[in-house]
């Protein structure tokens, strides 16, 4: 699978590394070249400096060949914008968008993207660790 | 009609004024509390301080009964999100200001009406060749020198400092300071730099990055 990841923070670098090790074709984009230090020396994928909200930058990073796009910057709005750009303008089939704000996550999830909210996920994990799985569900 | 204007900058402020004159019910939502206070003086109770990208803010503003939401902030990603939340809450019509003309297609695909201001359209064209609009190359001088315009953002590390305390790259010089009121001054060592000032700076071509770092700070919007 050809995957384009926007944002080489801790999560982005880890996702990129895992997919790369599993034999997928990975490109990681970040505005800041120093973010790529988080990738291990063994990383075989491509590093692209650029803004994922910018069409031409996405094209340079190979969006047209991508089977999947993952938005992992710190900004919910930036992630949503870039994700819709990938889906609506470049026709990427699978688009994952990190959204910290659970309210926004709820709204975005009906709009053609796969949304995951670390805030909601984290909260439910914490509650289930504390009270056990049953209590978390109830 | 009840119209929510998201963003109380120049565009939002003047839009609200016109709409109020036309006897519409208007609420401007502005994120920066200082700016919100400033426009409250003119628009009185038609202003609310808050972040329009938060669904709770829009709910507080009574978005569900709004006939129209106009998202006119300076950030296209924020305007997109504001329109999506508004539609989620059942607003029949949303209009977004787009600051970068390249983004028009995306808004169209999302079914959101757009408008580009002439100034922004021009800026957008220039921006395509520039990293951000806070720093605009004006003129290439001979022997590797360049004349650059730098607009100091709120977050500028040099805001509030005097010129003599600013560590510029080698062979760089602040030649002129234009304050937000449009008054030009030739700076001395004592001159204080303020957010909103526009500086005309002479620097070496290869020092552009360092100059940006010194005056503007790290490029905003970085992922870490």
Cβ-Cβ contacts under 8 Å, A78 against chain B? 77, 221
> Residue B180: is its pLDDT beyond 90?
no
ipTM field: 0.87
Band (pLDDT 50/70/90 cuts) for residue B119 is: low
pLDDT in tens, B131-174: 455 777 787 777 888 888 998 988 888 999 999 999 899 889 99
pLDDT tens-digit series, residues A56-89? 999 999 999 999 999 999 999 999 999 999 999 9
A23 vs A3, A29, A44, A100, CA distance in Å? 11, 19, 9, 29
What's the pLDDT score for residue B223?
A: 36
Q: Does the distance separating the beta carbons of A88 and B106 come in below 8 Å?
A: yes
List CB contacts (< 8 A) between B88 and chain A: 107, 110
* pLDDT, averaged across chain B: 86
Element (H, E) at A107: helix A102-108
Q: Determine the 3-state secondary structure of A127 from DSSP.
A: helix
> Which of A99, A103, A113, A115 to mutate: most B Cβ within 10 Å?
A103
Q: How many domains does chain A have?
A: 1
Phi (first) and psi of residue A68, to 5 degrees: -145, 150
Are the C-beta atoms of residues B169 and B144 closer than 8 Å to each other?
no
The string of DSSP codes covering B43-111 is: HGGGEEES-TTSHHHHHHTTGGG-SEEEE--S-HHHHHHHHHHHHHTT-SEEEEE-SSGGGHHHHHHTT
Q: Kindly tell me if the per-residue pLDDT of B122 is higher than 80.
A: no
Q: Name the residue facing A31 among B80, B85, B221 (closest C-beta).
A: B221
- Going by C-alpha positions, the residue among B25, B22, B26 that lies closest to residue B5 is B26
pLDDT per residue as tens, chain A (138 positions): 999 999 999 999 999 999 999 999 999 999 999 999 999 999 999 999 999 999 999 999 999 999 999 999 999 999 999 999 999 999 999 999 999 999 999 999 989 999 999 999 999 999 999 998 665 555
Q: The tokens of A4 are what?
A: 């384009």
Model confidence at B222, in pLDDT bands (50, 70, 90)? Answer: very low
Chain A residues in contact with B75 by the CB 8 A cut-off are: 77
For residue B107, the distance in angstroms to the closest alpha carbon of chain A comes to 9
pLDDT tens, residue by residue, B6-49: 999 988 998 899 889 888 999 999 999 999 999 998 898 899 99
Q: Is A115's Cβ below 8 Å from some Cβ in B?
A: no
Interchain contact, B84 vs A80, CB within 8 Å: yes
Q: What is the pLDDT of residue B121?
A: 59
Query: Is B223 close to A31, i.e. CB distance below 8 A?
Result: yes
Q: Residue B155: its pLDDT value, please?
A: 84
Domains of chain B: 2-125 (3.40.50.720), 135-215 (3.30.70.1450)
Express as a percent the part of chain B with pLDDT over 90.
51
Q: Is B128 helix (H, G, I), strand (E, B) or coil?
A: coil
State the Cα–Cα distance between residues B182 and B186, nearest whole angstrom: 13
Q: What is the DSSP letter of B162?
A: B
* CATH number of the domain where residue A48 is located: 3.40.50.720
CA A5 to CA A12: how far, in whole Å? Answer: 7
- Residue of A47, A84, A98 to mutate, testing the B interface (most B Cβ within 10 Å of its Cβ): A84
- Domain containing A51: what range? 2-137
């Amino acid at each position: 699978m050809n995957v384009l990841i926007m944002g080489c923070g801790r999560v982005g670098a880890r996702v990129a590394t895992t997919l790369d090790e599993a034999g997928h074709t990975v490109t990681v984009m970040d505005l800041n070249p120093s973010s790529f230090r988080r990738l291990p020396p063994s990383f075989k994928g491509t590093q692209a400096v650029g803004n994922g909200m910018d069409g031409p930058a996405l094209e340079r990073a190979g969006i047209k060949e991508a089977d999947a796009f993952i938005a992992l910057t710190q900004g919910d709005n930036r992630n949503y914008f870039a994700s819709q750009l990938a889906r609506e303008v470049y026709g990427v089939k699978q688009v994952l968008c990190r959204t910290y704000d659970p309210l926004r996550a709820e709204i975005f999830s009906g709009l053609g993207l796969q949304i995951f909210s670390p805030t909601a996920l984290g909260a439910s994990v914490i509650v289930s660790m504390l009270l056990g799985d049953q209590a978390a569900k109830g | 009609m009840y119209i929510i204007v998201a963003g109380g900058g120049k565009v939002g402020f003047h839009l609200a004024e016109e709409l109020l004159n036309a006897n519409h019910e208007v609420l401007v939502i502005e994120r920066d509390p200082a700016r919100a206070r400033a426009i409250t003086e003119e628009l009185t109770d038609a202003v609310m301080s808050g972040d329009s990208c938060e669904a709770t803010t829009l709910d507080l503003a009574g978005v569900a009964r709004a006939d129209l939401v106009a998202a006119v902030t300076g950030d296209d990603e924020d305007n997109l999100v504001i329109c999506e939340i508004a539609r989620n809450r059942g607003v029949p019509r949303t209009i977004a200001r787009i600051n970068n003309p390249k983004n028009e297609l995306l808004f169209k695909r999302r079914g959101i009406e757009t408008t580009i201001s002439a100034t922004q359209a021009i800026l957008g064209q220039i921006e395509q060749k520039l990293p951000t609009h806070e720093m605009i190359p004006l003129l290439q001088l001979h022997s590797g020198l360049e004349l650059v315009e730098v607009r100091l953002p709120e977050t500028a590390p040099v805001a509030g400092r005097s010129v003599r305390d600013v560590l510029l790259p080698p062979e760089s010089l602040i030649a002129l300071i234009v304050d937000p009121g449009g008054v030009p001054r030739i700076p001395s060592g004592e001159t204080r730099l303020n957010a909103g000032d526009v500086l005309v700076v002479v620097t070496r071509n290869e020092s552009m990055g360092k100059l940006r770092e010194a005056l503007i700070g790290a490029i905003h919007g970085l992922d870490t």
